[in-house]
Every structure is written in C-alpha cells, then in structure tokens.
Structure 1
Amino acid sequence: MHLICPKQPEHELQSSSVSLFSFRVDHLYTFFVQWSPESIYSKHTSKQDFLKVHPETLNVIDTLLNNSAPKNWKIVTVKQQKRRPSVCSSADSESEDLQPVLVDRSQILKEQHLEQLMNHIPARTQGYPWKLAYSTAEHGTSLRTLYRQMAEIDRPVLMVIKDSDNQVFGAFSSDPFKVSSYCYGTGETFLYSFSPEFQIFRWSGENSYFVRGFLDSLQMGGGGGPFGLWLDADLYRGSSYSCDTFCNRPLSLHHDFTIRDLEIWTFI
C-alpha cells in the first residue's frame, strides 16, 4: 500500500506547502506502521495500490501524533474498541470472550452461537449492538409481518432459526428482506448452520441468486434446483438443499423442517 497526499494545482504548491505535506505524510506513514506493523507501506507514489487521504484526516492524525502525552491514546481495531460483553453474560463473568451487545433478549441465541457468528459477519457490522427487528415469539408467524418490520431498515440483517429438532441455523443478508421481482443482495450474504457443528457457507460466485422475496415465500440461494433456504408464508415450514449460490449442505438435519422460533437481528 502506498500513501499519497491530496494533490494540489502546481501554482498553489509552494515550497512551504511541500514541506508541510511531506511532514504530514511522514506522520501518516508512522500512524499506519504503528497500526499494522506486519504490513508493508511506502511513502512513494505508484500508479496503483495507493491510499488517498483527505486533508481533514491528516489534521486528525497530526493532532494524535503530536500529543505531548502519547501514552494516553493507542490505536485499536474496531473489534477491540467496540465489542462489549453480551447481555446474555452474567454481570460477574470475567470471561475473556467478548460478545456483541444484544439490545433485546433472544429466544434462540446462546453464548456459543454469538461467539461463532461474531467472527464471521462483515467488518462493517461488527462492533454495533444487535437489535431484534422481528421474531415469531413477539410478532407472530407471518411473512408479511416480517416484511413490514423490515420496511424501515436499510442495513444488513441476520436471520436465526430454531427448528422442531432444536437445531439452530439461518442466514446473513446484506439487505433487509423484502418483496421483489428480482434477486437482491451482495456477496456478503451467507448461510450458516450449527447442525450439528458450526459451518458457514459463503457465496460461491456461481450466480447471484442471493435473496428473493415473495408474498408467499422467502428464498435464498438457487441455481437450477432447490433453494439453499426456503420459508413459507406462515413461517411454519421451511426447506434447505444444496444450491449453486452457496455450495452449502442442507442447513437442518432434514431437508424439510418445521420452524419453532425465528428471529431477525439488525445492527444499530
């Protein structure tokens, strides 16, 4: 990765400006080296693999690096800074495993589920509290109600299902669920299962049949055959088969399953 300063017109670039920008680049270079020492950085520009930095960002970094008491701050990752103990954890627990904050109580998710899922959701959703957007226990068993609950959401969602065999599985969708005449979503979308051990099934690249919502069903994954995950209008019955989109195995113990509880979480 190469670091470059914001480019200015030549007639404005005086010798003092050159010195200032050189000084700022040195500071920015130091900042990234401290942040990720295992990476290789260069202060020399190239035609590719460079990072453009806004002047305001340089000012912030200058302030940090010129701090007379540098021990008062440190560079941390999003995971280190924002992850907090789960509300599922005991207040007296001193476990080193940090979990996301659940704003609402879950009927399905346990500590082991959160530990695994937290490590696989996209970075842009990590560090945020999880809010329950829909649950069959609270809102009833209706796909139409599920869609209504998603209407005001503009961020990714996590679906969690517990079936009649007490198996837990579901999907992460880059987009909230909705009725659509076409498939939607991105390669961030994935299926997962804890049945019987945790497995995650990411986008295979074969097609883009991530999600499609109908009034009478919700479909995830496909490609010339059954769906990776399919739910009926009453959110009572579902099915899971191997599909080209995710190259997954069936998420439940049986291809066809009965839903006991279903929850959809979003990240706020």
Structure 2
Amino acid sequence: MSAKQSLPVRPPFPSMDLTAPVLDISQAQALRGNLPPRQRIGNNWSLLFSLDQHGASLSTLYRLVETYAKDHKTAGNILVVRDTEGHTFGVYLNEPILKREGTYYGSGESFMFKFVDGESQPRVYRWTGRNQYVALCETGFISFGGGGTSYGLLLDSTFSRNSSATSPAFQNEVLCGTGLSDKGQPFDCLGLEVWATS
C-alpha cells in the first residue's frame, strides 16, 4: 500500500504483517468528515508514530512529529489510542503535537472523539469555549482537555499511566468508558498512533 492513496493508510514498514493498526480505513473516513474544511480536501495522511513500531516513548513521538513538521506543511495531527478493553479514542489537534513546556496550545478546531461499537460515526466532542486548555505537551506527559481536576485524555511518558475524564474544554464523555466523570478513569494503552493530516 502507498501513502499516496486517497485514504489514510499505514506506510509499508517491513514488520507491518506482525502488527495491527489502531485506526482502520473506515474509522479514518468517518473522522475525516469532522476535520476542518481545508483538511477534508487533502488525500494523504502520514503515519508519524506507532507504539508497536517505535516503542513506548513520548520523547520519540515528539521527535518524529517535529521532524515531519519541519519538512511538511501540516495543519494537524490525529492521536488515536486503543486500550486493552478494546476502546478506540483520541484527539484531533489543529497543529502538530510538539513539546511546549508549561503552555497550553491548540484552537477551537481541535476535538476529542471515541468510537463506540454499533455506531458508524465517532462521537465527537468539540471545544466548548470555556477555556483555552486544549493541549499541554510536556516532557513527562501529554494531555488534552484541561480546566478541571483531571484531563480529557492524559498519557504519561511511557504510555503506562493513562486516564480519561470529562474536561471543561470539551465536555467529553470518559473516552475509555461511558458517561461523564471528573475523576480520571485509568486505562492501559494497547496501541497508539499519531497521524499527520494534509
């Protein structure tokens, strides 16, 4: 498969036959309709980071995203997680996911999402406008949706201590479960991918 096809596909890594994608093509098509209009036009998505290809390292994720962003004009990244319970969820950030110590960034075009069994479209949680706490990406963790006592999505530097809660920024359901909760619900990360949209 080629990264030049009209749907987002995984690049032909040598060990691809040994791994399973987190985001499949039907999910990518469903997500695409929720992207900002200028992002729906582009046909090429690039896989920048995969937990099973690159290891459990947030610093590697940042390095690979930064390298790509230097050479390509990209307006956004999709981070998608699959947990050990089979839930698939994530975030679209309207700019590259880069380490920026001590400062939130991102805009109202960003959103959180989760796929629910039996539903053809993802549940999308758009920015509420209540605060500017869209993304906080530091050395020790990466988080999306802040403003309360927990984050909408929180991943640590080795993707081993993770949680999801309802955030004022997105008023999202718990991504790794059901319902609303301001207490972080922990989850184990089975797979994680970061895609660049163009």
Q: TM-score, normalised by structure 1?
A: 0.60
Describe the SS at the equivalent of 2:29: helix
Q: Structure 1: any 5+ residue segments left out of the alignment?
A: 1-85, 88-98
Number of residue pairs the alignment of both structures matches? 174
Find 2:189's aligned residue among 259, 262, 266.
259
Change (3 A) 1:147 1:261: same
> Following the alignment from structure 1 to structure 2, what is the Cα–Cα distance between the partners of residues 103 and 195?
22
Structure 2 contact 8–25 (Cα < 8 Å) conserved: no
Describe the SS at the equivalent of 1:246: coil
> Following the alignment from structure 2 to structure 1, what is the Cα–Cα distance between the partners of residues 81 and 167?
19
Note the aligned Cα RMSD (angstroms).
2.2
> Following the alignment from structure 2 to structure 1, what is the Cα–Cα distance between the partners of residues 161 and 85?
13
Deviation at 1:244, TM superposition (A): 0.4
> Following the alignment from structure 1 to structure 2, what is the Cα–Cα distance between the partners of residues 162 and 224?
24
Aligned to 1:191: 112
Aligned to 1:117: 31
Structure 1 contact 100–118 (Cα < 8 Å) conserved: no
TM-superposition CA deviations, 1:66-107 (whole Å, max 9, x none): xxxxxxxxxxxxxxxxxxxx97xxxxxxxxxxx624252671
Identity between Structure 1 and Structure 2 (%):
30
Q: TM-score, normalised by structure 2?
A: 0.80
TM-superposition CA deviations, 1:193-239 (whole Å, max 9, x none): 01344200000010010001111110111113210000011012311
Aligned to 1:82: none
2:87 alignment partner AA: Q
Deviation at 1:178, TM superposition (A): 1.8
The residue correspondences of 1:1-268 to structure 2 (distance < 5 A) are: 100-102=7-9, 104=11, 107-126=21-40, 127-152=42-67, 153=69, 155=74, 156-180=76-100, 181-196=102-117, 197=119, 198-253=122-177, 255-268=185-198
> Following the alignment from structure 1 to structure 2, what is the Cα–Cα distance between the partners of residues 262 and 125?
22
Higher RCO structure (Cα 8 Å, ≥6 apart): 2
Aligned to 2:15: none
2:99 alignment partner AA: V
Change (3 A) 1:123 1:231: same
> Following the alignment from structure 1 to structure 2, what is the Cα–Cα distance between the partners of residues 134 and 110?
15
Aligned to 1:11: none
TM-superposition CA deviations, 1:100-144 (whole Å, max 9, x none): 242526711224312311211112222231110111111111011
> Following the alignment from structure 1 to structure 2, what is the Cα–Cα distance between the partners of residues 258 and 101?
26
TM-superposition CA deviations, 1:122-180 (whole Å, max 9, x none): 12222231110111111111011111111131521001111001111000001211221
